[in-house]
């Protein structure tokens, strides 16, 4: 786990999050994960709709911490120091942050840390 990183998970209703613009467009009742004063990695969002470990990942769906999510047809994937990388660079066991659309689809996935291999 990233040293010194504190996650706070809070339930927000629409419009109650002062930094809502920094996360995704999903502002319905959702879990917003605040990663601190600064992003986890430079260029990363400060807010994620979900953070968890990849159980499985395909072009159409992802299972993160035993929860199934659809992938947006235009989903993007990001790693520290690299934007818009291939989905195939993400592996089972990787910890990721996700931005999720109002329709419940993952619109972007951000690598937070690799599983110890």
d(CA 73, CA 91) in angstroms, rounded, equals 19
Residue 103 counted as domain residue: yes
pLDDT in the model for residue 56: 98
Residue 3 lies in a domain: no
Examine residue 101 and state whether it is found in any structural domain, yes or no.
yes
pTM of the model: 0.70
- Give domain status of residue 33, yes or no: yes
Q: Total domain count for the chain? A: 1
- Does residue 50 form part of some domain? yes
Regions of the chain with pLDDT less than 50? 1-24, 26-30
Q: Is 99 exposed, middle or buried (0-12, 13-18, 19+ CB in 10 A)?
A: buried
Condensed to tens digits (0 to 9), the pLDDT of residues 16-30 reads 333 333 444 544 444
Identify the domain containing residue 106 by its residue range: 8-113
Neighbours of 53 (CB within 10 A): 16
Structure confidence at residue 115 (pLDDT): 84
Is residue 1 situated within a structural domain? no
* Structural domain includes residue 2: no
């Amino acid at each position: 786990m990233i040293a010194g990183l504190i996650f706070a998970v809070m339930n927000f209703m629409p419009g109650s999050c002062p930094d809502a613009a920094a996360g995704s467009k999903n502002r319905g009742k959702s879990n917003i994960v605040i990663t601190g004063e600064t992003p986890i990695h430079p260029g990363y969002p400060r807010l994620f709709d979900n953070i968890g470990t990849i159980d499985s990942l395909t072009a159409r769906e992802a299972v993160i911490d035993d929860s199934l999510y659809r992938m947006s047809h235009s989903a993007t994937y990001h790693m520290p120091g690299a934007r818009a990388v291939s989905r195939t660079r993400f592996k089972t066991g990787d910890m990721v942050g996700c931005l999720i659309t109002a329709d419940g689809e993952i619109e972007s996935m951000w690598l937070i840390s690799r599983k110890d291999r």
